[in-house]
Chains A and B, each alone.
Chain A
Amino acid sequence: MSFALRLMLRDIRSGDILTLVMALIISVSTVTSIGLFIDRLQLSFEQESANLLAADRLIRSDGVMPVEWQKKAQNLSLKQAERTSFTTMMFAGDTLQLTQMSAVTDSYPLKGAYLVDDTLFGTGKNSTEPPKPGQVWLSSRLASLLNIAIGDQVEVGEARFVVTKYLVRDPGSSASSFSISPRAVMNIADLAATQVIIPGSRVRYSLLLAGDRAALNDYEDWITPQLNDGQRWQTPTQKGNRIGDTIGKAESFLLLAGTLAVVMSGVAMALASARFVKRHLMQVAILKTLGATPRLLMGIFFVQLFILFIVGALVGLAAGWGIQGIISSLLSGLMSTTLPEPSISRLWLGLATGFVSMLAFCLPLMLRLINISPLSVLQPSAKIEQNTLLIYCVGFAGMYGLMCLYTQGFLLPSIMTLAIAGIGIVVAGLGWLAFRLGRSLTSGATSGWQIGLASLYRRLIPNLFQLLIFTLIIMLGLILVGVKSSLVADWQQQLPDDAPNHYLFNVQVDQIDQIDKETDQLGVIRSDWYPMVRGRVISENGKSIQELYPEGTDEPDLYERELNLTWASTLGKGNTLTSGDFTADGLSIEQRVAEEANLSIGDKLTINIGGNIVTLPITSVRTVDWGSMQPNFFLILPKEALQDYPANFVSSLFIADDNAQPFYKAMSQFPTVSILNVGDILKQIQTIIGQLSQAIQLVLLCILSAGALVLLASVRSTLEERLEEGALLRVLGARKTLVQQALFVEFGALGLFSGLIAAAGAEACLYGLQVFVFKSPASWHPLLWGLGPLIGICVICAIGIFASRTVLKVPPMLLLRDL
């Protein structure tokens, strides 16, 4: 034990152990910092999204929830709030207005804040507390419809309230509920006094929860089996919601980036170990002649590896923590919000990486070291070549295992592994051909070109390996660049800066011209007007919906409620036809809804529109980009079917912040028009995208610097050989420039080949990633083809210069002595 330690301490001076520890530190710290950073970003997204949900988690129910649910939350020390939403009549003197009311507990909202104002149509200030008992907050539109102001009284059912604020935004009101009625908030303490909730009322109860993740997860596990059809468990980053999708894509990307870090670290570790083993083979053989038994050697190496692991892991974890702190503080200048603290529990990822790396990349090589025959001291040719294939297999398996651990799935690692294996084979083949060609074109050794190209072929195996490493690293870099640009472009395309942030509903035909005039005056960008008629699907292929989906069964969205119907002669913005004929005399249905209700072209739907019954076949299916924030519809009918009904019109607009006040003022002339502001959600999404772009850029930088380190390590591993050779050439009388030129040619050719193959590989991988992982259309990346070879030649030649400098600086004598 102490002997092992002493032996290692002495060895540290030679630098090998240091290289190994450095590689371990790099791998652990890269993984740790990325892991922690992703974790912080995720927490941050969750928090931002929680602001939109007003809670970390939410249970929505059509009926009153059992009291045990609250008790359970209490037991888990979760914060709770309740919200009860319903539609009711509000009275102010003689005027009355249907109102979307929510009654909330004092603890509401758990996350985020109300936006309220003292002036009508103001832009609002934050309030984290709801109205006090006896008070009510009204949206500006509701106040103007009722023709009242702050201080006035209103009646809801049997209770009276004083209006104290104008409500601008309710944090829990998601944009998806396109409720037409204007909103109001009251305190839940007053709810009983109103007596408006009677058996049979349509009421939506929500129990909001907030607290630490573990408790929330426990709660989820406990509650999920108890939920019935009318009850939903909601999380801030639910699938299908836009923010969730955006984060999901970003998460895949960052995990991919993390995976790449693992690959790089693995290569660095393997390189360092290989170098360590190569240098120690003879030493171990000597120790064996001196009487060291295999068991003793095994013990020595285990102790050494263990110490290395401890040192590397601890320093790596600390460094990783530091790096991630630096990244976040750099980012905090760019981000609007500060990131939450990383969770210490994430550190295990770095530890696991370090451990698996040791097992996969060091141990097999070390065992090989122990198995060396002592005879090789006398007979260098007798070095038993161990099963090298096995070593590669173990390394590969370790790498794959780490990737799976990282992405918690098999798809991404499999794609990556296959890609790397494919690249390996291609690189070996092409490299061999290229080196051979270079060799046959130049026979003789009189110029640097000839020597350089010749030595490429002579050191075939190490050079092919190096070519592979260069190629992989350049390729990874190019993939990251490609993925990043296509991801960001994809997002920006989906959400331009002037994406509509307001919707106008309930607009009458005769108001359209006036509103157009007002908005034109303000310079507001507006979409087309879509006529909108309310209707309900009552039967499918002649069978009534009630029969098909009796009370209590989970009916599809299409049948659940009254729909907004429209007519159009051409396909609107954000719509893509997937099958059928849009202009045919029938229904056009949105794809997701059609799939949910199991409908296809030819099926007949019967719709009740204001008491009139229409039956139409489905003649086309569309996909709708809900992210486009254009007015979108599940069903589009032919014009003839709807034109006789009184239609309201709907439109979407983009209103800049400084335009908001005048716009709201102007719209107060049209008190019957509903305005839905989705700007907050939009801004949230845009902030997140902004943060992600920045984060990705930084993570990219980290990965690339890890890559550069691996590059350097791999050049170092053959540097000695090149140095010896350079010295030998100089001893034989070669001029310095010749040696230099030869090195340049060798590295330059390596760089060029790697760059070219890398560009091809990156293009192929990007195709796979775009199509299978990110599910976005594939595109061509001409930039890569220029960037790849250029980076290859520049970077690898730069290292070449570095190397040649050493070759030329060191007196040949010293090198020969070191042999």
Chain B
Amino acid sequence: MMTNTAIKVSNLTHTVTSNTGDLTILKGINMEIKEGESVAIVGSSGSGKSTLLGLLAGLDVNTSGDISLYEHAFSSLDEEKRALIRGQYVGFIFQSFHLLPSLQAIENVMLPAELKGDKDARKKAEVLLDKVGLSHRLTHYPNQLSGGEQQRVAIARAFASSPKILFADEPTGNLDEENGKIIIELLFDLNQSQGTTLVMVTHDNQLAKQCSRQLIMSAGQLAEKTL
């Protein structure tokens, strides 16, 4: 079976300047993720996982090396173009949900489609919220929802733009076990039914094992985990 390369990273190094001096967070990372794969990134806190994820999604520019999503090299693009790539290819799920507090659940889910100027945004959002089991809470505001419910809205929102790649940064980190499970199930279900590539940072070994590949991050360097 011929599979496309979704993400290709070569010689990625990332250095930030903070008030205590330069800090190299990522050092010489190389990797390739195929379309449809699910990859877990594990590692201790502060090892650089979130930074890597952010760079892969084009949220920031790396200091050296190359990252490309479906042959689009971020280093040659400006923020305007990168944003377009994000809108087209990428979905994101965060540890602390990050729903817009002033918008209702349904409006949060409608956002990505609306940003693209999609007329059927509301329809699609309703369908997605139904899939995550929140069809009865469409008009609720984030602060009227529990953490688990907020994360389900966030998942619906991530899938709303029909992304090719879904990034998740500790999606269950702020949730209890019960809710965590629901979220994971949803994530994998949707992932499979939509054929999405999944890149996920997690502390949960159980969860990591459900992924097709595991990568270990330590002190800014990445290693393949072989079972």
Contact = CB atoms under 8 A, between A and B. Distances in A.
Nearest to B55: A375
Interface in B87-118: 87-88, 90, 92, 94, 98, 100-104, 107, 111-112, 114-117
A563 B174 CA distance: 97
Given A288-B83, A291-B87, A294-B83, A374 B60 contact: yes
Nearest to B143: A818
A11 interface: yes
Contacts of B107: 10
Contact of A291 (B53, B101, B161, B169): B161
A724 to B, nearest CB: 14
Interface in B124-156: 143
Residues of B in contact with A, size category = 35 or more
Contacts of B114: 3, 6
Contacts of A817: 143
B92 A289 contact: yes
Contact of B102 (A10, A294, A296, A377): A10
A295 B54 CA distance: 21
A286 B99 CA distance: 8
Interface string A1-24: 001001000110110100000000
B62 to A, nearest CB: 11
A378 B50 contact: yes
B102 A14 contact: yes
B86 A289 contact: yes
B57 interface: yes
A95 interface: no
A372 to B, nearest CB: 11
A293 interface: yes
A177 interface: no
A430 interface: no
A819 to B, nearest CB: 9
Contacts of B116: 291
A374 B74 CA distance: 15
Between A282, A287, A292, the greatest number of chain B beta carbons within 10 A of the residue's beta carbon is seen for A292
Contacts of B16: 382
B179 interface: no
Given A291-B116, A378-B50, A13 B84 contact: no
B80 interface: yes
Given A3-B117, A10-B102, A294 B80 contact: yes
Contacts of A283: 100-102
B79 to A, nearest CB: 6
B118 to A, nearest CB: 10
Residues of A in contact with B, size category = 20 to 34
A286 B98 contact: yes
Given A291-B116, A293-B79, A379-B54, A282 B98 contact: yes
A382 B114 CA distance: 28
A291 B107 CA distance: 16
A373 interface: yes
Given A11-B102, A296-B115, A378 B169 contact: yes
B184 interface: no
B5 interface: no
Interface string A252-295: 00000000000000000000000000000011001111111111
B83 to A, nearest CB: 4
B31 interface: no
A288 B59 contact: yes
A294 B54 CA distance: 18
Given A294-B83, A818-B143, A287 B101 contact: no
A368 to B, nearest CB: 15
A179 B67 CA distance: 97
Nearest to B89: A291
Given A375-B54, A377-B59, A291 B90 contact: yes
A295 B87 CA distance: 14
Q: Closest 10 CB pairs between A and B? A: A291-B87, A14-B102, A293-B83, A375-B60, A374-B59, A291-B86, A375-B59, A378-B50, A378-B54, A290-B112
Given A288-B83, A290-B112, 8 more contacts: A287-B115, A289-B92, A290-B157, A291-B87, A293-B84, A293-B87, A294-B79, A378-B51
13 contacts: A3-B115, A14-B102, A289-B59, A289-B90, A290-B86, A291-B83, A291-B84, A291-B88, A291-B112, A291-B115, A291-B161, A377-B92, A378-B94
